Structures are given as C-alpha cells and as structure tokens.
Amino acid sequence: MGLPVVLQDGEARHLVALVETMTEARLAALRELGTPEIVVTARRAAALGIAPAIPSDTLRLRLPDTAGRDWIAALSGQNGPGCTDPGDALPRPVPGTAPHDAAIRIAVALQSVPAILVVPLSARDDPRIAALGLGAMPLPLVADALLRSGIQSPVSAARLPMDASEAGRVQVFRPDDGGAEHFAIEIGAPDLSAPVMVRLHSACFTGDVLGSRKCDCGPQLRASMAAMAEEGGGVLLYLNQEGRGIGLANKLRAYALQDAGLDTVEANHWLGFEDDQRDFRIGARMLASLGISQVRLMTNNPAKTASLAAHGIDVVDRVPLRVGRTAQNAQYLATKAAKSGHLL
C-alpha cells in the first residue's frame, strides 16, 4: 500500500517507506520528520557507478534538499537507461545498517523496486508519528519473519482432469507470511515410495499464458507435464515467483531494459536485484509436506538441485528439459548458461 512503517533496533527507530509508491505529498511528510536517506542495493549502486569505501549489501545516501519524486525514481532505477541519470552531484554513499538491510529485504519480498526512503526518528513520543497511527516493529521480529519465509501449509485440494492426464489433482499451499499461494499439481498417479519425477516451475504469465517467445517457460511447463504423464505420474510445483522472484511489474521493467541493450542478468542488476531472487526452500517444504523425499528433478538449473538437497530432499537424478528455443530467446538462453550456470 506504500504506507511507511517504523523499524525499531534497540532504542533506535527508523521510519521506512517504499520508493516505488512514493508521492510528492508523502515525500513532503517524510521531510517534516527529518532528513530522509535513500537506500539502494549494492547491485544498484554498481549500476550507478558509485561504491562505498567499505563493501556493503545496502548503501544509503542523504536525499538532496532539491530532490523530488523524479530524482528518486531515476536513482532507484525505475526509469530506462536513456533517462536514468539523477544528476552529477550524487551524495557520498554510506554502508547500510541492520534496519536498512531489513527494509530492503521487505521491499524485495513485496516484489517492489528494492529502494527505500528512511528517516531516523529521535523522539520516541513524537506526536507526528502517533498521529500517523504507526507502531514500531522490533527488528528481531522482522528478521524472524523474513527467515520464516517459505513455510507453507496445505489449505485445499481437488481432482482435476487435464489435457496432459485425465488423472490429475491440484493442491493449494498458503504461506504464513501473507505472501503468494503456490500449487502442487499431481499428474497421473505418482508412486511416492519411489523417486518421484518433479518439476519446480516458477510462474511465468508471459510465457505460460501468453506464449511469449522471449523465454522457454511455456514449452518447459507443457513438456514437463507431458513427460510426467508418459512416466505414469509426477508432481509439478507451480511456484508464484514470477520473473525469478522479482514480480511481473519488475520483470516488464527488465524486458524494457533488455530492449535497450542489457541482457537478462544486467537488467536485474540495473533494477537493484540479484540474478535470481527466487526461494527454492518453498519447493522443498511443499515436497516434504506431500511425503516426497526422493525426486527425479526436471531442470536445467543446478541451483534448484542444490537448494532441494540442502533442505532435505534427495535428488537422485536430474532430468534435462531442453525445449522452447526460438530466434527471440536465443540470447536469453545463452546468458542463462554463461552467467547463471544453466545446463543447456
């Protein structure tokens, strides 16, 4: 919703607000409380060509008195390469602290642009804070919630005949952190006493639904379901982590950056994200809930294999899934292989 929240670290308190939903009126209200700082990730700072003397995951810069909403949007990477320069006289960056790191992680979890405005609060009983109806959220509570991210609970299930298999079943899993629901799709009748053919498929609206030729997601989805049906059974985990976890809005921003000449990894970095923001712990916990401990994993991505193995799932075999190459996605696939280690 864009509302500011207060993070409390011991006696220190910080008012934090998302940059993406910042308005001129909200910015003016923040300035009344103190001097805001803008906090960005190290990836975004590198794209801007700035770096602190001490390496840090997050960097904070004092917001210039003349900076408005457009300046903030430019600094945070919401604009394209042709209109991204926030000005020559950038304030000196300073490494972020624990509250700044936590606030950025909240922005990433919300699939917002990973940039925030922070106002340090001095007076515990500042009437302006009370008037906003804001309570302080202790930093350990925030850290615990972020660490717990990925815990899922099954909430409903039903039989579903599909094109791939007349015998099908869909089960919905809901996280305890208010995040997106994820789905376990049984194809055929998988034998849970043997290694199960499994695919962790991240949602791709443009590829799965619209048939985009910029990626290979749609063909991978259909090919994996067909292979499971041919094998007699399998489980497809459909994880709502669009755009490698950055969300559809940021994915489309990345697409625009790719049209301007960046590759898929460079576009993520430009926006302040890592190469891949997905959390595959979610898949491991869903499999455990389904009683699946051994899998034949359909993937070209070693990170999925490593994450499942690290969280208690025995990957007895990796099944390559090489489909969907087009003239439009050849460079995208080459970048995934060269920079993200995909086995193509």
The mean pLDDT values, 10 residues at a time, for the chain of 344 residues are 80 88 89 91 88 82 90 84 57 88 89 93 64 66 66 92 95 86 96 95 97 95 96 96 95 94 94 93 94 96 95 96 92 91 88
- Among residues 298, 287, 205, the alpha carbon closest in space to that of 251 is found at 205
Annotated catalytic residue, options 101, 169, 276, 285: 276
Question: Are 311 and 330 contained in the same domain?
Answer: yes
Domain-embedded: residue 180: yes
In sequence order, the 6+-apart residues with CB closer than 8 A to the CB of 256 are 80
Question: Are 129 and 157 contained in the same domain?
Answer: no
pLDDT of residue 58: 93
Question: Are 98 and 168 contained in the same domain?
Answer: no
Question: Are 64 and 143 contained in the same domain?
Answer: yes
Question: Are 128 and 171 contained in the same domain?
Answer: no
Look at residues 109, 132, 147 and tell me which one is the last residue of a structural domain.
147
> What are the backbone dihedrals phi and psi of residue 29, each rounded to the nearest 5 degrees, phi first?
-65, -40
* 279 catalytic per annotation: no
Domain-embedded: residue 318: yes
Give the chain's domain count: 2
Q: b/e map of 318-344 (b: 16 or more CB within 10 Å)?
A: bbebeebeeeebeebbebbeeebebee
pLDDT of residue 290: 95
Query: Which sign, positive or negative, has the C-alpha torsion 234, 239, 245, 246?
Result: positive
- Among residues 141, 150, 96, the alpha carbon closest in space to that of 118 is found at 96
* 276 catalytic per annotation: yes
CATH for 231: 3.40.50.10990
Q: What is the pTM of this model?
A: 0.89
pLDDT of residue 84: 47
The amino acid present at 206, given as its one-letter code, is T
Range of the domain at 201: 150-241+278-340
Question: Are 34 and 162 contained in the same domain?
Answer: no
Question: Are 125 and 188 contained in the same domain?
Answer: no
Domain-embedded: residue 311: yes
224/320 Cα distance (integer angstroms): 10
18/116 Cα distance (integer angstroms): 5
Domain-embedded: residue 40: yes
Question: Are 107 and 174 contained in the same domain?
Answer: no
For the chain, what is the radius of gyration of the CA atoms? 22
Annotated catalytic residue, options 44, 105, 278, 285: 278
Domain-embedded: residue 252: no
pLDDT of residue 87: 56
